[in-house]
Structure 1
C-alpha cells in the first residue's frame, strides 16, 4: 500500500480558482481536490482581509468541534501560531465552519476540511502568512493549515491521522496551530469512512458518506 502514498508528502493544498494555477510542490494536479459536492451553506461569508488580532497569547484556547460523527477537542497553539489561531477563532465565532464537509480522507495520512465549497477550492476571501517552522513533529492528532504555496493560508485545515503524516517532517511547510486532546477516536472514525476515487485527481480520497462539522465552540482558559 505504500506505493499509493509515495510522493504525497508536501501535497496538502487548497485549489485556486480558474484565474490561477494550482501550486503544489511541482505537481501538475492538486491532490487536494475532493468531495465535489456543493456547499450546504445558504450563504458563504467572505472578507477582504485577515481579522485583526483579538486573542490573548497568554491564555489557553480550545476548540470543541462537533460533527455528525461525534465531537473532538483541539488545543490551540496560541503562543506558537498566534496569527493562525486568531484566524481560526475568528472564523469559528462567525460560524464559518458550520456544515463544512471532510471532503478529503486518507486514513493513514490525514483528513481535510474547512472549505465552504466542500471541494478544495474555497476560502474566507483572504490569505495570511505562514508561521513556521513548527515546534513539534507532524504526527497523529496534529492540526495544521492546508495551503496552495507559501503564505496562502485561509480556512482549510487538516488533522493528521496516521503514520503517513510523519513524512511531512522532512519538509515542514504547513503551519501547525493545534492538536487533538480529546476525541481522537472520533477523528479516527472519520478517517475510516469509505472513500472512492476522485474523478478530478484520480486519488482514492473522496468520502462516500457525508461527514461534516455541525459547530465549533471556542473555550478560553
Structure 2
C-alpha cells in the first residue's frame, strides 16, 4: 500500500513537472501588438512585431484603433502569393490621410532575436512569431552599434506592407502571405504574422482585380481595445524556448539542405 502511494505521488510529481515545463514554453503576446481581423471567411489573429518595423506597426495599429480598416475589401488576391487589402477605395489607388512611410525593409538585430542556426550561407531566427534572415553574427564585432542587419522572411501568414514603385510609398495598404515568396525579402516591409487563420487567408476570393463581390474585413481591432470578457485568450509557443528549438531541429533534419524558416509552424493556442 505504501509503495503504491509512493508511486502515485511520484507520478503526480512528474506530471506536475511536465506541466510546469510545458507552461514555460508558451508566452502571452502583448495585447497592444495583436490584431483581431474578422473577415467574411473567418477570423485571423495577427501579432505585430515592432522590433522589425516600428513605424509600420504604429501606423497599422493606429488605423485599426480608428476603425479605418473596418469593411475594406481584399481587392487583389493571387492564389500562390498574397491577399491585398487596406485601401479605402478598394482598388489599390487609395490610402489614409497620413504621410507615406519610410521603408523598413531591414532592421538592426538586437534583443528579442531568437537564433536558430543557419539555412545555407545565411543565419536564421525569429523575432516573436516573425521568421527572419540575418547577416552573420561575427560581423557584429565590426559594426558601430554591435549589431547586424536582419530582415523578415515572407513566409505563409506573414504581414507585409504594400507600396508603389517608390520604396518609401507605403501608407495603409497591406497584404497577408498565402504562400512563401522570397522575392519580397529585403524589398518590402514585413511587420507581423498571422498566429492563426491561415485557412481564412487562403479562402479569400482570388482575382487581379477580384471580381465583385469581394471578400472583406468586417472589423479590425487591437486586442487591448476589446472588452476583457470578449477577448480571445492567445498563447504562442516561445520561439526563444527549448520546445520550439526542438521543432526547428526536427524540421531541419527532415528537409536537410532545403530547410528554411518558412518550414516551421509555430504552435498557437486560442481559447
TM-score scaled to structure 1, two decimals? 0.63
Take 1:185 and 1:145, find their aligned partners in 2: how far apart are those partners? 21
1:194/1:154 Cα in 2 relative to 1: closer, same or farther (>3 Å)? closer
1:176/1:151 Cα in 2 relative to 1: closer, same or farther (>3 Å)? same
1:135 aligns with 2:147: no
Residue in structure 2 matched with residue 64 of structure 1 by the alignment: 36
Deviation, structure 1 residue 208: 4.3
Cα-Cα RMSD: 2.0
Deviation, structure 1 residue 102: 0.1
Deviation, structure 1 residue 62: 0.6
Take 1:115 and 1:106, find their aligned partners in 2: how far apart are those partners? 17
Deviations 1:137-183 (A, max 9, x none): 111111010111121110000111124x23323xx221111001111
Matches within 5 A, 1:67-216: 67-125=39-97, 126-133=99-106, 135-148=151-164, 149-163=166-180, 165-169=181-185, 172-190=186-204, 193-195=205-207, 204-216=208-220
Deviation, structure 1 residue 213: 0.9
Take 1:168 and 1:135, find their aligned partners in 2: how far apart are those partners? 10
Unaligned runs of 5+ in 1: 1-57, 196-203
3-state SS of paired residue (2:60): helix
Deviation, structure 1 residue 67: 1.0
Q: How many residues align?
A: 151
Take 2:57 and 2:80, find their aligned partners in 1: how far apart are those partners? 26
Kept in 1: contact 2:78–2:206 (CA 8 A):
no
State the structure with more CA Rg.
2
Question: Structure 1: which 4+ aligned runs deviate by more than 3 Å?
Answer: none
Take 2:65 and 2:169, find their aligned partners in 1: how far apart are those partners? 22
Deviations 1:171-210 (A, max 9, x none): x2211110011111111111xx253xxxxxxxx4424432
1:194/1:77 Cα in 2 relative to 1: closer, same or farther (>3 Å)? closer
Residue in structure 2 matched with residue 217 of structure 1 by the alignment: 221
Take 2:66 and 2:202, find their aligned partners in 1: how far apart are those partners? 27
Deviation, structure 1 residue 59: 7.6
Unaligned runs of 5+ in 2: 1-29, 107-149, 225-233, 235-271
Deviation, structure 1 residue 128: 1.5
TM-score scaled to structure 2, two decimals? 0.52
After TM superposition, the structure 1 stretch with the greater mean CA deviation from structure 2, 81-90 or 126-135, is: 126-135
Give 1 or 2: higher helix fraction: 2
